[in-house]
Amino acid sequence: MPMQTARPTASLNPITRADFGPDEARHLLWHAGFGGDPFDISTAIDLGPEDAVDRLLDVPGANGVDTSKFRGDIVREWTDAEEEQLRRARQRRNENTLARFREMRQEMQRNDRRQFAELQAWWLEVLATTAHPLQEKMTLFWHGHFATSYRGVENSYHLLLQNQLFREHAVGKFDTLLYGIVRDPAILAYLNNNRSNKREPNENLARELMELFSLGVGNYTERDIKEGARALTGYTFEGNQFVFRDEWHDDNTKNILGVRGPINGDDFVTAILRQPACARFLALKLYRFFVADVSDDPKQIPDNVTLVIGHMASALRRDRYDVKPVLRELFLSEHFYDPANMAGRIKSPVELIAGATRSLDLPVGFHIAMVRMLDAMGQELFRPPSVAGWDGGRSWINTSTIYARQNALALMLAGGRRNPQQRQQFAAGYDPRTVIPNGMTMSGDEFATAMLRHALGPIGDASNPIGAARLESLQEFLETIGPNFGREAAVGVIALITAMPEYQLC
């Protein structure tokens, strides 16, 4: 039973209710969200494919999450009076005043780093516990797409504002987001546009706007970048607000992507959105995020998949960049549920953590330890490695990150706490047998079989070569335990399952 060599059907016809069984429901929950426990899976089956998908797509605005604990005034610019004071102190070399200002700045930065750590833990908890998993999954998608790191922004509140922008338009319109992003303080700071002026325009935002956010390499010229940078001059912010500085803006004629005129930043975005490459670029990224780890080079993608992506791109253009109908069609399609697409993706670290929490009913104990684990796995929230975001697929996996993944899950099973006493309290409370229906009355063998099937999906079935080999290893482990199968042995079984190489797949 070779995997991934079979060609998936290119059919986007909707899957029938009769074909929507436990494997399909599980697949939907993992791919369009962060997995589910057996109860979530049976609920989805009862709803049937249409209602299950619509329930995922029905999301509230950004105000569905509580952000009230975050403060927007920790990092601030100096007031006019303070600037004047500072200027005079510099002039007169008044070291005491200068030192006082330096300390004030450092104090702000320290406080902000504290808030940033809270922000990271907060979002991870939202991801793992949300009632709207697709909304958070798309927020994560946009975070990876418009990748912005705290390093280079150093303002946690700006990152929260950006996160809320993504959440608000999670399954909304891409064009709205693209106009929004050139006015987003976090990205303006991250890509150095906040000081870009007509005398010396900074090219960073103009380049990444086309290369990474919309068109992809090869669909624009170096000249488009240089002129695009001029179009974006004067796009900056003050405090937490976007401002357009007329006196910095270059309003001379420009030539960008075949459009000629006194183009400003918004016109530049409009010119980008008119390019056919834009919808194709977005469709491929959505496909790789939601369906399977195909190459990001269109030439290396199998024909059937190219057809599906081409269809998604046309749909995006037809619906004027509205993402929701495209996702709905995809999540209902026969292509999405093709066996070749089951277990065809490597989970991102966030999917791994949030998914384990939801599918194994782990009590949530998120704090710094889990955020650190995400870093070790290569996906620290709000700190992508670069503006290109995370490559995904096999690039997640190397000898370092595979241990980090196995260890993160082991740590979670131990309660995600470093303090041994807390760990003991947790360990005494969590019984994985409660995850599986009738698990409490099962023998070790029955539990291992059922948990393997739940945790690995179809490849964990005893009829699959992988499932069969893994079950044998678990049985050997259970033999060493002896006849008394209890809670601790069940924790052992689950620790081993989460350490299996194929647990990384969904």
The single residue among 78, 101, 242, 477 that binds another protein, judged by CB under 8 A, is: 477
| Residues 188 and 194: beta-carbon distance below 8 Å | yes
Q: Hunting for tokens 């269809």 — which residue is that?
A: 311
Among 80, 95, 200, 247, binds another protein (CB under 8 A): 200
Of the candidates 32, 177, 459, 490, which one interacts with another protein according to CB under 8 A? 459
Q: Is 294 in the site for another protein (CB under 8 A)?
A: no
SS3 242: strand
Per CB under 8 A, the list member of 33, 36, 234, 378 interacting with another protein is 378
Tell whether residue 38 is a contact of another protein (CB under 8 A): no
Among 136, 211, 224, 227, binds another protein (CB under 8 A): 211
Q: Is 192 in the site for another protein (CB under 8 A)?
A: yes
Note whether 296 binds another protein by CB under 8 A.
Answer: no
Which of 183, 269, 272 has its CA nearest to residue 234? 183
7 neighbors 327 (Cβ within 8 angstroms)? no
Q: What angle do CA 44, 49, 55 make, to 5 degrees?
A: 65
Residue 39 as a binder of another protein (CB under 8 A): the answer is: no
Neighbours of 437 (CB within 10 A): 13
Residue 97 near residue 105 (C-beta atoms within 8 A) = no
Between 130 and 233, CB nearer to another protein: 233
Judged by beta carbon, residue 202 or residue 240, the one nearer another protein is 202
Residue type, 131: A
Determine the interface stretch with another protein among 52-60, 270-278, 360-368, 381-389 (rule: CB under 8 A): 381-389
Burial class (CB in 10 A: 0-12, 13-18, 19+), 363: exposed
246 binds another protein (CB under 8 A): no
- Candidate residues 353, 401, 451, 454; the one interacting with another protein per rule CB under 8 A: 401
Candidate ranges 311-319, 326-334, 344-352, 436-444; the one touching another protein (CB under 8 A): 344-352
Rounded Cα gap, residues 306 and 299, in angstroms: 9
Options 154, 293, 322, 446; binder of another protein; rule CB under 8 A:
293
Task: Sort strands 241-244 and 254-256 into parallel, antiparallel or unpaired.
Answer: unpaired
Contact pick of 172, 344, 355, 416 for another protein (by CB under 8 A): 344
CB of 400 to another protein, least distance (A): 4
Q: How far apart are CA 404 and CA 347, in angstroms?
A: 13
**Of 128, 131, 144, nearest in space to 364 by CA:** 128
- Reference 273, options 215, 217, 200; nearest CA is 215
Minimal distance in Å, beta carbon 169 to another protein? 26
DSSP for residue 322: B
Residue 196 corresponds to which amino acid?
S
420 lies in the binding site for another protein (CB under 8 A): no
The answer to whether 201 contacts another protein (rule: CB under 8 A) is yes
Q: How far is the CB of 74 from another protein (least distance, A)?
A: 21
- Smaller CB separation from another protein, 354 or 471: 471
According to the binding rule CB under 8 A, does residue 421 interact with another protein?
no
Which residue among 376, 422, 445, 446 contacts another protein (CB under 8 A)? Answer: 376
State the Cα–Cα distance between residues 343 and 353, nearest whole angstrom: 17
Q: Closest approach of Cβ 414 to another protein, in Å? A: 8
Tokens of 233: 């001059």
Among residues 424, 427, 355, the alpha carbon closest in space to that of 140 is found at 355
Q: Residues 195, 318, 320, 418: which binds another protein (CB under 8 A)?
A: 195
Interface residue with another protein, options 257, 413, 436, 450 (CB under 8 A): 413
Cα distances from 39 to residues 44, 182, 351, 434, 448, in angstroms, run 9, 43, 19, 11, 18
Interaction site with another protein (CB under 8 A): 1-5, 191-192, 195-197, 199-204, 207, 211, 217, 222, 293, 297, 343-346, 375-378, 385-386, 388, 394, 397-404, 406-407, 410-411, 413-414, 459, 465-466, 468-470, 473-474, 476-477, 480-481, 492, 495-496, 499-502, 504-505
